[in-house]
């Protein structure tokens, strides 16, 4: 099992942590990563684009000029697509770009990117951030101590206002929580900084079993559970002397 150093905010190694091989020891799969990235970008599209057809543009639908005798081509309404301000023939209309992807494949793609980042030395693990108030200067000092630059993604176990506000004014630095980390966030970042708690949260999310979609079997109702049958009631009624008529 791979190990990584745990650093404090001063950049000094304080301990080591064992990394899950199923997350940080996965072989890179470019095809799977490409599919996951395309899915995320496609799902971000709103799909509100729209063009007007010849039946939707504003204009008269009366015949432009008479059919014969002018020497010109035969035309009907001025809203036809070949005319200026006419309708659009095969223009885009509102639609959904949403793409589905199995959970196993999404997790595998993220693990593939994280494993590649770890091999390149772009994943850093810290004990935690103990900011009592938002301080951008202190966050810059922490980043300089860790030796990270350019695009940095700080992964937290849960939303932390002090850390988020301390990092939001630094160009190229973003924060996120572990359970929302995706492939695009990992790829677009040059360095990923995990807290120990965020690392445990991420491992719990990526290794949790998938919810079962099987339908629970319904209990079988037997004759004993349904009470006396109709035939049994009729037989009891026939044998009862009180109900006989003379």
DSSP, collapsed to helix, strand or coil, labels residue 195 as strand
Taking alpha carbons only, the member of 162, 194, 189, 161 closest to residue 179 is 194
Mean pLDDT of the chain: 88
Pairing assessment for the beta strands 3-7 and 13-18 based on DSSP bridges: antiparallel
Q: What is the pLDDT of residue 3?
A: 87
Q: What is the 3-state secondary structure (H, E, C) of 127-171?
A: CCCCCCCCCHHHHHHHHHHHCCCCCEEEEECCCCHHHHHHHCCCC
Q: What is the pLDDT of residue 2?
A: 80
Give CA–CA dist 109/187, Å, rounded: 11
Q: What is the pLDDT of residue 117?
A: 95
Q: What is the pLDDT of residue 218?
A: 57
DSSP, collapsed to helix, strand or coil, labels residue 210 as coil
DSSP, collapsed to helix, strand or coil, labels residue 245 as coil
Q: What is the pLDDT of residue 147?
A: 93
Q: Where are the chain's structural domains?
A: 3-45+101-207, 48-96
Residue environment code for 206-229, b if the CB has 16+ CB neighbours within 10 A, otherwise e: beeeeeeeeeeeeeeeeeeeeeee
Find out whether 199 and 17 touch, Cβ atoms under 8 Å.
yes
pLDDT along the chain (246 residues), means of 10: 88 92 94 97 96 93 92 93 94 96 96 95 94 94 93 96 95 96 96 96 89 53 49 50 45
Give CA–CA dist 175/144, Å, rounded: 17
Q: How does pLDDT run across 177-204, given as a tens digit for each residue?
A: 999 999 999 999 999 999 999 999 999 9
Q: Does domain 3-45+101-207 have CATH number 3.40.1370.10?
A: yes
DSSP, collapsed to helix, strand or coil, labels residue 22 as helix
This model's pTM is above 0.85: no
DSSP assignments along 38-66, one per residue: HHHHHHH---------TTTSSS--S-SS-
Instruction: For Cα atoms 200, 176, 4, give the angle at the middle one, nearest 5 degrees.
Output: 40
Q: What is the pLDDT of residue 211?
A: 63
Instruction: For Cα atoms 230, 232, 238, give the angle at the middle one, nearest 5 degrees.
Output: 105
Tokens matching residue 41: 């970008």
Q: What is the pLDDT of residue 246?
A: 42
Q: What is the pLDDT of residue 63?
A: 93
Between the two ends of the chain, the Cα-to-Cα distance in Å is 92
């Amino acid at each position: 099992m791979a190990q990584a150093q745990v650093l404090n905010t001063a950049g000094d190694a304080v301990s080591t942590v064992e990394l899950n091989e199923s997350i940080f020891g996965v072989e890179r799969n470019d095809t799977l990563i490409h599919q996951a990235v395309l899915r995320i970008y496609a799902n971000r599209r709103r799909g509100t684009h729209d063009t007007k057809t010849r039946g939707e543009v504003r204009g008269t639908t009366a015949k432009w000029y008479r059919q014969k005798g002018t020497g010109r081509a035969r035309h009907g309404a001025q809203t036809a697509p070949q005319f200026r301000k006419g309708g659009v023939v095969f223009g885009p209309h509102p639609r959904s770009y949403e793409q589905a992807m199995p959970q196993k494949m999404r997790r595998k793609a993220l693990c593939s990117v994280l494993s590649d980042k770890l091999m390149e030395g772009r994943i850093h693990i810290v004990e935690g951030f103990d900011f009592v108030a938002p301080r951008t200067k202190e966050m810059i000092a922490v980043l300089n101590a860790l030796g990270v630059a350019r695009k940095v993604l700080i992964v937290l176990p849960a939303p932390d206002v002090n850390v988020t506000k301390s990092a939001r004014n630094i160009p190229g630095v973003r924060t996120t929580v572990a359970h929302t980390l995706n492939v695009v966030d990992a790829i677009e970042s040059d360095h990923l900084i995990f807290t120990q708690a965020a690392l445990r949260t991420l491992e719990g999310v990526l290794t949790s079993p998938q919810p079962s979609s099987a339908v629970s079997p319904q209990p079988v109702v037997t004759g004993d559970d349904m009470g006396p049958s109709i035939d049994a009631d009729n037989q009891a009624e026939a044998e009862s002397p009180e109900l006989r008529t003379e």
